Amino acid sequence: MSGSHPGVVAAVDVHYPVSGGARAEAVLAADDCFARVVAERVTTVREVLGYRPGEFYLRELPPLRTLLASMDLPRLVVVDGYADLDPDGTPGLGAYVHAEFGMPVIGVAKSPFRTATHAEPVLRGASARPLLVTAAGLARTDAADFVRHMAGRFRVPDALRRADALARTAGG
């Protein structure tokens, strides 16, 4: 594993092509707003588990683990999903990434999860539908402020939109 990269933050996503496996993508920026993207990374994992509600991390963590282990670690990661799944702190994808790699993780979910009643709603752009923000390794309110200030004029911050688009299109 490479060393820490103290000035860089990352937005990550995973996509599952119909051909099988998974592609994980990281958009790396030199600033907290993601206004200055400095690099993009893509990795492919050949085999992944099927989707299980409430156990999303079992499917997403292996591709993210491969991606993060292949690069200098950012000082913070924004994931598409939840950091924890309920007010009691049941770990979600972000909590597992935080536990394994040690950096703070912000979870940004686009859809509500029935037990995630603690998620901080964040309105962005002209959307009336909030993003649902959770965090591991930092306060949820600080995470919500972070997401509120990320670059982009739409509901989903540009960095997460870019990570999603690249994961879907990388390698075909």
26-56, pLDDT tens digit by residue?
A: 999 999 999 999 999 999 999 887 777 667 7
Please report the pLDDT score of residue 51 as a whole number.
74
pLDDT > 90 in the chain, percent? 76
Q: What digits encode the pLDDT tens for the residues 85-108? A: 999 999 999 999 999 999 999 999
Question: What pTM was computed for the model?
Answer: 0.91
- For residue 100, count other CB atoms closer than 10 A to its CB: 14
Q: DSSP character for 32? A: T
Please report the pLDDT score of residue 24 as a whole number.
94
Q: DSSP character for 135? A: E
Q: Write down the mean pLDDT value for the chain.
A: 90
**In the chain, where the domains are located:** 4-169
Which pLDDT band, with edges at 50, 70 and 90, does 171 fall under?
A: low
User: What span, in angstroms and rounded, lies between the C-alpha atoms of 172 and 5?
Assistant: 30
Range with the lowest mean pLDDT among 17-21, 127-131, 166-170? 166-170
User: What span, in angstroms and rounded, lies between the C-alpha atoms of 78 and 2?
Assistant: 19
Q: For residue 120, which of 87, 98, 91, 92 has the smallest C-alpha distance?
A: 87
Q: For residue 29, which of 141, 132, 146 has the smallest C-alpha distance?
A: 146
Please report the pLDDT score of residue 52 as a whole number.
72
Q: What digits encode the pLDDT tens for the residues 103-156? A: 999 999 999 999 999 999 999 999 999 999 999 999 999 999 999 999 999 999
Q: Which fold has domain 4-169?
A: archaeoglobus fulgidus dsm 4304 fold (3.30.2170)
pLDDT at 19 over 60: yes
